[in-house]
Amino acid sequence: MTTVAHVHTTDGSFALSHLDSLESEAVHLPRGGGEFERPVILFSGGKDSIVMLHLALKAFAPAPVPFTLLHVDTGHNFPEVIEYRDRTVERHGLRLHVASVQEYIDAGSSASAPTAPATRSRPCR
């Protein structure tokens, strides 16, 4: 695979690097969320959700992102992650909803998923 820099070619056309080309295709993903009644972007503060937010910001610029960020708070987050989340929300003027796992458990709203019956592994022959 050949990667080219941002350059104007001799015939006057413009070429994108491979990474820029992938990003250009990926910004269409968040735009598809408008098909749903109440779309959200799950945001943990990890690398995957940061990339999805970056794509949404690029996809809707200069308009604001029309989705709420949903952070599922497990109670096991590093303080730095929460600080980053809050700074990011403020910097970009985003809406944030925090769902607390502990609050759902305390309210009796959380049900455990049914467990599958135990299976026996067959020995290799």
For 72, the 3-state DSSP assignment is strand
Q: In what order do the strands lie in the sheet with 40-42?
A: 40-42, 68-73, 95-100
* pLDDT tens digit at each of 125 positions of the chain: 344 445 555 666 677 787 777 777 667 666 666 677 788 999 999 999 999 999 899 888 899 998 899 999 999 999 999 999 999 999 999 999 999 988 888 888 866 555 556 555 555 55
d(CA 52, CA 30): 8
Q: 58 exposed, middle or buried (CB, 10 Å; 0-12, 13-18, 19+)?
A: middle
Token couple for 9: 């070619």
Q: Shortest CA distance to 71 belongs to which of 50, 54, 91, 57?
A: 50
Q: What per-residue confidence (pLDDT) applies to 11?
A: 67
Q: What per-residue confidence (pLDDT) applies to 105?
A: 86
